Amino acid sequence: MRDSAPHPGADPWSATRRLPRPGAQDTVPIAVPVPTATPAPGGSSGQRVTTLDALRGFALFGILLVNVPHVLGMPSEVGGVEAPVRRALDLFVQYRFNVIFALLFGIGFGIFLQRAARKHPRPRLLLARRLAVLFPLGGLHQLLHPGEYLLFYGVLGVALLLPLSFAPRWAALLVALLIPVSPVPGALVLGYALARYEIPQTLHARRNQLVVVFAVSAALAVPALLTQLHGPRDLGFALTTVLAGLCLAAAYSSGLALLLRTRAGKPIAAVLEPLGRMALTNYVSATLLMVSAGRLIGLADSTSWWTMLGFAVAVIAVQAVWSRLWLAHFRYGPLEWAWRRLTWWNLQPIAGSAASAA
């Protein structure tokens, strides 16, 4: 099958057509790439990029390790000494996976806008609807999980991504680079910008770039981690924490993307991809499991950090199994289907295998 990745330095939006607009709104049409070659697996012609699904599944586990102690109010110190598990999470998980999650959400919004432009004359209206759904969903989720991100993504999407959709793609990249000190907003916009440059959609053809990103970010992560280790205990948004988080997020993401290309990565992909295909459903259902089963086993306000780790592994294992079983019969997860229906404002079919869903 012929590789459809753009030639290095080529602008994938240079050969475009413009969709007709029925009214006065959406006055700046979205540029839609005209396919010039048979698309490769995971390319930008509408197929799912399975590596992104696996990364979403991976991010869900890291987010869970952060959210369980937060939601259940687990103190970080035992007898005045910080728990070793908590210290390890601070160094290797906290402010790492929320960056990955935000990056993937931004990528998802960027890919959605491109694909919507191929099917609808007013793609920004669809993006606005998609973002609007996150307001009530995130608001309800806040009741169980104060400080959760869905509502935040919706607000940032309306405030940043919709305006940037009228600007050239380099503007989104510039905005992302100007706000790196706030890792989640910066990651969201960066993901959107990368999608505009069709980088995530062509990961299958970017092995060398992934190797460079992994090598550089892993090398930078070492001094960043050492600085954080010997820095102030209060994480907050200290610069040392942000730098270490960005380096590790890049190393984790590029490292996993490279691993998935190997034989050893196949069983990992088989576990992570179904999780990622149902990322929204699994993210919300994990909170329901935290506040019910987590309290039932006595994790609330406890210092049982090893039990917390076991609980998180059990939750992600259950979700991996049920995601795979669900997607064997349905095209989308329950919340993904509802989100899609409210976005397109019509009855989307849910029956059918996951392989048939774009």
pLDDT digits (tens, 9 = 90+) for 226-255: 988 887 655 555 677 788 889 999 999 999
With a cut of 70, say whether residue 30 has pLDDT above it. no
- Residue 46: its pLDDT value, please? 54
Between 78 and 101, residue with greater pLDDT: 101
- Residue 350: its pLDDT value, please? 74
Separation between Cα atoms, residue 91 and residue 74, nearest integer Å = 17
Q: What is the mean pLDDT of residues 16-45?
A: 39
User: What confidence category does residue 5 fall into, taking pLDDT thresholds of 50, 70 and 90?
Assistant: very low
Classify the C-alpha dihedral 337-338-343-344 as positive or negative: positive
Between vectors from CA 157 to CA 196 and to CA 91, what angle results, nearest 5°? 90
Question: What predicted TM-score, i.e. pTM, was given to this entire model?
Answer: 0.83
With a cut of 60, say whether residue 33 has pLDDT above it. no
Q: What is the mean pLDDT of residues 200-223?
A: 94
Over the stretch 264-284, which tens digit does the pLDDT of each residue have?
999 999 999 999 999 999 999
Between 141 and 45, residue with greater pLDDT: 141
16-18 and 81-82 beta bridge pairing: unpaired
Q: What is the mean pLDDT of residues 160-178?
A: 93
Paired tokens of 335: 């919340």
- Residue 243: its pLDDT value, please? 85
Structural contact between residues 131 and 213, judged by C-beta atoms closer than 8 angstroms? no
Separation between Cα atoms, residue 250 and residue 201, nearest integer Å = 17
Over the stretch 64-76, which tens digit does the pLDDT of each residue have?
999 999 999 998 8
